[in-house]
Structure 1
Amino acid sequence: MKRRTFIISASLSLLLGFGNVVAHAQNSADGTVRIAPLQATNLLTLARQSGQADKHLKTIGGKIDWKASMPAYAPTAEVLRGGSADIGSGSVTSFLTAAANNKDLVIFAVEKDDGKTQGIVANGASGIKSIPDLVGKKIAVNKGGTGEYLLRLALARHNISYDKVTPVYLGPTEGATAFAQGHVDAWAVWEQFFAAGQAVPGAKVIAWAGDIGSLNRIVHVTTRDFAQRNPKLLKAVYDALAVEAQAIKNDPSLIAALNIKEGMPKDVAAILRKVQPQALAPADDAFLKELDEVATFYVSQGLTPQKIDVRGLTVNVLNPQAKQ
């Protein structure tokens, strides 16, 4: 019951706070950065929970206006494009899906992990013990985002056609309920939702993101206009993320402690505690190559009608003059 309460409360926070998110765009001349964080655990949410983000922005005379937490990147992109927030987070895959027809958003920070923060977890009653066992089964994924990418990548690594499985397109909170109640056989998902899936009695991880060659990073995104008009504020947010990354590197237990404080069940937090802390990197040339590789995979899988040109979709805050 506590796990369900944790997931439901996250959804309610979105609904109750959305009215604040859809306010008119504000001018950042006063040093205010409007941030709509993800519900999923990442450096930005941790920096908010620890107070590090607010503290760091204050040192340069800035401040953060925290908006409602978003369940996934798709609504985050809508909020950014609508002018109601300046910064949000998502994954490489969901970012590319949203960028297919509109390049007004750019990535400015990238999180790199040990490949165990995302993956595919199977229900204990499903009989699934490996990726080939997914054939003929129902798998919960978020359409066009991390879940579908992980499932397609895992199947491709085993030369299994996507039409051999039955994808069930669900958001992360709906996917959590479907998986816990046995309505789907497996779930391809990320971060604390992945940990919550592993905590279900009898559940088994059949694919870690790192083992199937996933390049699906957590990314932090802003509007092109904000990046051009407010480079110092954007760099300050990046620096705050860097400070948080160093803090959890020094004391990895902070991740579980902060999430428990926010209402995460202790058994789910215990799973997160086993994962190596993520590191922060700029959206540099090396990352741009990764982004291009994912774009190539997307078009090969028919997820986009043509390959997305990733040039211009990043901004390197550590080297503003770099052409990307």
Structure 2
Amino acid sequence: MPNQRTFLDARRRMLGTTAALLGLSTLPRWALANEAAPPLLRVGFQKSSVNLVILKQQGALEKRFPNSKVQWVEFPAGPQMLEALAVGSLEFAMTGDSPPVFAQSAGKDLYYVGAEPPKPLSSGILVKADSPLRTLADLKGRKIAFQKGSSAHYLTVRALEKAGISWSDVTPIWLAPAEARAAFERGSVDAWAIWDPFYAATEVDVKPRVLTNGVGLSNNNSFYLASKPLVEQHPQTVKALFDELTRADAYVQSHRKEAAQLVADFSGLGLATVHRFIARRPVSPVKPMWPEVIADQQRVADAFFKQNLIPKSVKVADIVWKPGRTA
């Protein structure tokens, strides 16, 4: 019966095709994507970059981009990282709110490509447990340590504004986190503005008093920035990075103990410190810049310009990557 055989043969081919498609659907995303990633992908990160640290420890980007050489470069803070990005030593980096403002004001060639949700609990201004400083108004006339151009810089600006203190009424002590902690512990400064995990480590080890955190002052946003060549020539790589970062965050949320151990193994921080700073970190998927976070970042830029802390005003939206368009 040729008609029946023809029908059965066609049905077998259809079932075979369906099975093949179902099999493909179970492959990992990186196996399905037709991505032309750059031959060299240099990623700048800090100890606070939880999602990136997880990806590094798991070797996830090396699996996602098997034809690329992935290099991980650690920095003590954002300003140093964005300088490297601007001069072509990095393709991709994650930092806090203030470093991109200073970089843009200085004419650095880079783009905001994505962000995580706000983390106002993850930064604070610390004083010694026995310090006479009790309110933000008590900061007048005091020495405050922080990394220049960092998120802690903006937190300090906002805290002084709230207290009605002019910038000229305090003495900023420009120090990177490690040096600032040493100065804080020996009493060389009156207060220290800092972010996690340095904030959490000091809470665990030194037992300071928290004069304020970022609530009501700074959203302490985290941004992902990229070089112009990466944005213009490899936009699908940027989107793939977001996929992996969001997957890493889901892992942190669902495997808190294992994630804390990975971060501790990388950073050398104690587990108590890592659990403390991860606990106050909200769910943090990564996505392209959205209107509210752009507006919030513009307030950061305007605050620095108002205090004459950057040489010119900037429009944040001018260097925001818009997916689907060239830069």
* Corresponding position of 1:19: none
What is the letter of the counterpart of residue 292 of structure 2? A
CA distance 1:139–1:278, shift in 2 (3 Å): farther
Task: Name the CA shift for 1:210/1:49 in 2 (closer, same or farther; >3 Å).
Answer: farther
Partners of 1:42 and 1:259 in 2: CA distance: 7
Report the counterpart of residue 172 of structure 2 in structure 1.
Answer: 167
Q: Aligned-pair RMSD on alpha carbons?
A: 2.3
SS of the equivalent of 2:41 reads: strand
SS in 1 for 2:144: strand
- Counterpart residue number, 2:250: 246
How far apart in 1 are the matches of 2:72 and 2:192? 29
Q: Does 1:65 align with 2:70?
A: yes
Distance in 1 of aligned mates of 2:265 and 2:162: 39
CA–CA distance in structure 1, aligned partners of residues 294 and 247 of structure 2: 24
Deviations 1:117-158 (CA, angstroms, capped at 9, x unpaired): 111111223222322222232211111222221111011012
Distance 1:30 1:156 in 2: 44
Residue 167 of structure 1: how far off its partner (Å): 1.6
Is 1:36 paired with 2:44?
yes
Q: Deviations over 1:5-46 (max 9, x none)?
A: xxxxxxxxxxxxxxxxxxxxxxx8654422122233332223
Instruction: Report the secondary structure of 1:215's partner residue.
Output: coil
TM-score (norm 2): 0.80
User: One-letter code of the match for 2:44?
Assistant: A
Structure 1: runs of 5+ lacking an equivalent = 1-27
- 1:219-234 → structure 2 map (5 Å cutoff): 219-234=223-238
Question: 1:256 is matched by which residue type in structure 2?
Answer: A
Q: Give the C-alpha shift of residue 257 in structure 1.
A: 2.1
| Residues 34/322 of structure 1: CA separation in 2 closer, same or farther (3 Å cut) | closer
TM-score normalised per structure 1: 0.81
Query: Residue 91 of structure 1 contacts residue 146 of structure 1 at CA under 8 Å; is this kept in 2?
Result: yes
1:189 and 2:197 aligned: no
Q: Which residue of 2 aligns with 1:100?
A: 105
- Conserved 8 A contact 1:110-1:220: yes
Answer with 1 or 2: which has the greater Rg.
2
Give the structure 1 partner of residue 31 of structure 2. Answer: none
Residue of structure 1 aligned with 2:301, choices 287, 295, 298: 295
Aligned to 2:18: none
> What is the match of residue 305 of structure 1?
311
- Unmatched tracts of structure 2, length 5 or more: 1-35
Deviates more, 1:224-233 or 1:262-271: 262-271
1:256 counterpart = 2:260: yes
8 Å CA contact 1:125–1:202 kept in 2: the answer is no
Query: What fraction of aligned residue pairs are identical, expressed as a percent?
Result: 24
Structure 1 residues 310 and 41: alpha-carbon distance in aligned structure 2, compared to 1, 3 A threshold? closer
Residues 276-323 of structure 1: per-residue CA shift (max 9 Å, x gap): 33412321333222222211111112112332122331114xx42499
CA shift at 1:243, angstroms?
0.7
Distance 1:52 1:29 in 2: 14
- Aligned match of 2:271: 266
1:52 to 57, 60, 65: 60
User: In 1, are the aligned partners of 2:37 and 2:237 still within 8 Å (CA)?
Assistant: no
Q: Which of 203, 213, 217 pairs up with 1:198? A: 203
* Residue aligning to 2:126: 121
CA contact (8 A) 1:253 1:273 kept: no
Residue 109 of structure 1 deviates from its aligned partner by 1.7
Q: Is this contact kept in 2: 1:76–1:88, CA < 8 A?
A: yes
Aligned residues: 290
The question of whether the paired residues in 1 share the 8 Å contact of 2:111 and 2:228 is answered with yes
| CA spacing shift, 1:225–1:192, aligned 2, 3 Å | same
Task: Report the residue type matching 1:233 in the other structure.
Answer: T
CA contact (8 A) 1:37 1:67 kept: yes
